[in-house]
């Protein structure tokens, strides 16, 4: 799902049809889903999920970093919500 979302957004960007709200929603969705996938992978691997040779914990930490670094899920949700509501601003 995340790859399909990003591919569709890339097509819209190439056409000049993508908006800031679409980009923010894609960032929020992909960073949130990425965290869930990494958490499930760590859980499935049990204790081996923490061992560096499995690289699961590294992916988990990278997902946490991206979730925060990319403007955080909450900020991206507010940006996309502003576009959906026609400009009603939740920021002050």
- 83 is an active site residue: no
Number of H helices, E strands in the chain: 4, 0
Q: Which candidate in 17, 43, 64, 70 is catalytic? A: 70
CA distance 59 to 41: 9
CA-CA distance, 20 to 2, in Å (whole number)? 18
Q: How far apart are alpha carbons 27 and 44 in whole angstroms?
A: 26
Rounded to the nearest 5 degrees, what angle is found at the Cα of 21, between the Cα atoms of 87 and 15? 120
Just list the catalytic residues.
70
């Amino acid at each position: 799902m995340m790859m399909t979302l990003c591919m569709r957004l890339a097509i819209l960007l190439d056409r000049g049809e993508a908006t800031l709200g679409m980009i923010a929603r894609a960032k929020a969705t992909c960073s949130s889903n990425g965290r869930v996938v990494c958490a499930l992978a760590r859980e499935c691997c049990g204790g081996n999920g923490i061992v560096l040779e499995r690289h699961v914990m590294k992916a988990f930490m990278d997902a946490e970093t991206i979730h925060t670094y990319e403007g955080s899920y909450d900020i991206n949700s507010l940006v996309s919500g502003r576009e959906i509501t026609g400009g009603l601003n939740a920021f002050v």
